[in-house]
Amino acid sequence: MGRTVILTDDLGRGERLVRNLGGGPSLVLHDLYGDAEPPGDVELVISDVGALTSDAMLRLRRTLAVTRKSATPFLALIHGNLGRGEIQATALGATRVMPAATATAMLAKAIAALSTPLGEPEESVDLRRCADEARSAFAAIFRADAAPPPEIVDAGTTIVNRAIRESKVRDWLNVVAGFDDVTHRHCLAVAGLAAAFARSLGLNDADAHHLTKGALLHDIGKARIPLAILNKPAPLTPAERVEMDRHPAIGHAMLLDGGYEAGTLAVVRSHHEYLDGSGYPDGLRGAEIPDLVRLITICDIFAALIEARPYKAPKPIREAYAILEKMGPKLDADLVRAFRQVAVACEQPNLRVPA
């Protein structure tokens, strides 16, 4: 084992963990609430924090910024609710998450794997687990009673971006297609497509996070649309369509005082706007529609086309992409061309979207 730092909020418990792992100078214990500077130049970071309060999360972020380089593995041990702990640990950038009660032998094995340069974290190949974690995060996001806390949205965004970075977008779409809730399924599909689009455009991590976050939240207003309309197994009537079309303005109002960036608010309100002014709710035109919105509108339309609904069969990938192209002045033609790479990646290996 290389030099390893264990971040703890309980020195007694931390010392027991050190002893259980065999002790020695390679294991360095750091009190998260102490005055000492956290060590740098470590090969592995382990957090063993009993209560992931907002203060603990803030302290962990600050400490990780000192102890951890971008390629340094980070193992988070979770006390209490594993699902919530996984979301919080993922938001911190954890490489792997394990229950704190894991047997010492299993923990030592996990540490050995993370400490091996060629070792691959388990999460990188467990796409279904990533999708389930994202669905859990989205369930916490998609509530009608209040705007979602930004930290939960950020955690869900991190999960989606990690999954797309470490797998294929078509595999992500196949997994989320099995989810029951139509809105959850759609938003996770759009988020996956947005994450893949960000990668194909070469966006940096911060911009990719911003894009995927907007995609995850774009339909948040549907949380206040009646379920009878959302889940109707048939096309909507004109009156129902009017009600459904209120969701962008509703979502914008929900998030307006929630501490969200202007770009995210624009995505939520304007993802149904078209460049020719024929969209809603504000009839925006051309330059009035930000690039972030234009990107997510393309992902949103494409996802809706390739999704199965009770009243329609999914469009084949090539047909869905052709529809985007035929929308002409409604969409940004340069971005539609750039999206072709994402559409190709959604195909089965032996199929290709025609140029």
Quickly state the pLDDT bin for 122 (edges 50, 70, 90): very low
Q: Decide which of 162 and 106 is more confident.
A: 162
Give residue-wise pLDDT tens across range 231-284.
Answer: 888 889 999 999 999 999 999 999 998 889 999 999 999 999 999 999 999 999
Give residue-wise pLDDT tens across range 312-340.
Answer: 889 999 999 999 999 999 999 999 999 99
Calculate the average pLDDT of the chain: 87
In this prediction, what percent of the chain has a pLDDT beyond 90? 50
What is the average pLDDT across 87-105? 77
Q: What is the pLDDT at residue 348?
A: 59
The CATH homologous superfamily for domain 127-346 is Hypothetical protein af1432 (1.10.3210.10)
Quickly state the pLDDT bin for 350 (edges 50, 70, 90): very low
* CATH 3.30.70.260 corresponds to the domain 4-123: no
In angstroms, the CA 340 to CA 234 distance is 30
Q: Which two tokens stand for residue 51?
A: 């209560």
Quickly state the pLDDT bin for 352 (edges 50, 70, 90): very low
Tell how far CA 219 is from the center of its chain.
Answer: 15
Give CA torsion, residues 281, 215, 134, 348, to 10 deg: 120
What is the average pLDDT across 193-218? 92
193's CB contacts (< 8 A; 6+ apart) are: 169, 173, 215, 299, 302, 303, 342, 346
What is the average pLDDT across 53-74? 88
What is the average pLDDT across 58-78? 89
Q: What is the pLDDT at residue 252?
A: 97
pLDDT above 50 (res 141): yes
85's CB contacts (< 8 A; 6+ apart) are: 52, 76, 78, 79, 97
Domain ranges of the chain: 4-123, 127-346
Q: Which two tokens stand for residue 92?
A: 């911190």
Amino acid letter for position 263: G
In angstroms, the CA 270 to CA 114 distance is 43
Surface-to-core class of residue 253, CB atoms within 10 Å of its CB (0-12 exposed, 13-18 middle, 19+ buried): middle
Give CA torsion, residues 186, 192, 198, 204, to 10 deg: 120
Q: What is the pLDDT at residue 262?
A: 93
Quickly state the pLDDT bin for 117 (edges 50, 70, 90): low
Contact 36, 7 (CB under 8 A): no
- Owner of token pair 């072709």: 340
Question: Sign of the C-alpha dihedral, residues 202, 204, 205, 206?
Answer: negative
Give residue-wise pLDDT tens across range 294-308.
Answer: 999 999 999 999 998
Which stretch of DSSP H or E encloses residue 294? helix 291-306
Q: What is the pLDDT at residue 39?
A: 87
Surface-to-core class of residue 180, CB atoms within 10 Å of its CB (0-12 exposed, 13-18 middle, 19+ buried): exposed
In this prediction, what percent of the chain has a pLDDT beyond 70? 91
pLDDT above 50 (res 145): yes
User: Range with the lowest mean pLDDT among 105-114, 161-170, 174-183, 251-260?
Assistant: 105-114
Nearest to 342 by CA among 159, 203, 147: 203
Q: What is the pLDDT at residue 54?
A: 86
The beta strands (E) that lie in the chain are given as 4-8, 27-31, 44-49, 74-78, 96-99
What is the average pLDDT across 125-135? 77
pLDDT above 70 (res 139): yes
